[in-house]
Amino acid sequence: MKQLGTHLVADAWQSPGDLLNDPERIRRAILDAIEAGGATLIDLCVHQFSPHGVTATATLAESHIAIHTWPEHGYFAADLFFCGAGDPHKAMKVLQTALEAKQVKLTEFTRGFEPGVGILG
């Protein structure tokens, strides 16, 4: 397989609800994660839901980071896809620390294709 990137899918829990419901805290955590992972920000969108919850998506030159929070459960889900030289593991560690998640389950996928398969051969 020709590897094009690393895709991390994270489930994190036992985070303080007030942190998970703070859009500015989420924004700062993502910006710090992007820097730690060696990525380049193109755009960042953060949305606060009522009565609680935050969703944030960062478009990166190297792909993306997305996070969705459920403060009432102390839980967040994160999706980090990096291609090139960036390190999504470093970025995820920053998110875990910033949002004080005591437990994290990571699933890692290698993204890519089989050479010689597809429309370009």
Q: Which residues have a catalytic role annotated?
A: 63, 68, 83
Written as six digits, the tokens of 78 are 């994160």
Measured CA to CA, the distance from residue 57 to residue 47 in angstroms comes to 9
DSSP code string of 50-75 = SSS-EEEEEEETTEEEEEEEEGGGTE
Note whether 65 and 78 are within 8 A (CB).
yes
Quick count: other Cβ atoms within 10 Å of Cβ 43? 9
DSSP E strands: which ranges in the chain?
Answer: 2-13, 41-48, 54-60, 63-70, 75-83, 103-113
